[in-house]
Amino acid sequence: MTTAPDARQDDRAAPRFPSPLYDLMYGHIHASVLRAVVLHGIPDLLADGPLTAAELAARSGTRVEPLRRVLRLLAARGLFREFPASPASPESRVSHASPVSHEGDDEQRGESVFGLTESGAALRSDVPGSQRAPVLMFTDEMFHRSAAALPGTLRSGEPGFDAAFGVPFFDYLADAPDKSGLFDAAMTSRPGTSNADIAESCPFPASGTVVDVGGGRGGLLREVLVRFPGLTGVLFDRPGTVAGHLLDDEALTGRWRAEDGDFFTAVPRGGDVYLLKNVLHDWPDEDCVRILGVLRAAVEPGTRLFVVDAVLPEDGSAHPAFAVDIIMLMLVRGRERTAGEFRDLLARSGFRLDHVVPTPSLSSVVVAEAV
């Protein structure tokens, strides 16, 4: 009599794909691998098409076998594709080949070629919306040392960054031009904060002046001015930040100016609309009230304020900004907030929350008015 196979034995033999637990547990490995290939310029080397691991190693000054293994993992994560080599052109071998199998000897593996997927192409430094700077920032020691200090943060409530580096995050950036430059570049293009989506979602008037407070290098302001030719703009941020602005565009000539200063002290007057993008989430409630109070003192009643930040769901349902909230916990004393929490902050500062506009990006637009 034939017996049925043991289902438990079949389960043991089947490959087990990572559970959410394993993805979390190995997350730092994926981040480290990603940082390594970006630092060595591998995505840029693939701009013209796929190359073998040996070709990539020779051009990047790396070793073939470690590089192949790292790229294999990132191929499994959907950023690269691996194919068997063929005498055809790189374009045809990518479009017609099947992903390579690793059964066989090392020589066979050495003949495979690697290319970028659509997601991986964002790692190149020369593409619009490049994610190179965000990758390098979020995998920098500023972040991983702060993350390692989270057990202490849970006991003390103090940012892990302060414990790891001995100074607050923004004080550290003020004395570290290279890190400050990386931060500014990453904030200009970090994922989930599409300036185009935000500019399209904000109810801007047809004419007037937009003041972007803490506007970084002006990526959002530039998008707004391009989309709304009747508007003029003022970019306001730290001196070293506005010095690297992105507003030198013939189409914008005569329609903008940059001012430097400290938004805890004063902000430019005379605007019809004020922007605060990714500013309030950096600060605890009392500091947010100070920032908003300085802004309220500079504007007339009825002036509109657009606060661009993630807005967490009131019911605790899943939202990608929960991860950003932990970054705030690690680095600074800020936090992501719900609409109700924004309403309270604004009311304490002389503003009234009118409504919240969702966008296709991570951020929403909290529309408020000075009262």
- Which residues, 6 or more positions from 317, have their beta carbon under 8 angstroms from its beta carbon? none
For residue 2, give both structure tokens: 């034939």
How far is residue 255's CA from residue 290's CA, in Å, rounded to a whole number?
A: 30
Q: Which of 28, 96, 102, 281 is catalytic?
A: 281
- The Cα diameter of the chain in Å comes to 91
Radius of gyration for the chain, computed over Cα atoms and rounded to the nearest angstrom: 24
Which string of b and e fits 25-40 if b means at least 16 CB within 10 Å?
Answer: eeeeebbebbbbbbeb
For residue 245, give both structure tokens: 């602005």
How far is residue 81's CA from residue 96's CA, in Å, rounded to a whole number?
A: 12
Catalytic-residue membership of 281: yes
Sign of CA dihedral 178, 180, 186, 189: negative
- Which residues, 6 or more positions from 341, have their beta carbon under 8 angstroms from its beta carbon? none
Neighbouring-strand partners of residue 358: 364
CB 151 within 8 A of CB 145: no
Q: What is the three-class DSSP state of 132?
A: helix
Which string of b and e fits 324-352 if b means at least 16 CB within 10 Å?
Answer: bbebbbbbbbbbbbbbebbbebbeebbbe
In the block, which residue shows the tokens 């909230």? 325
Instruction: Provide the annotated active-site residues.
Output: 281
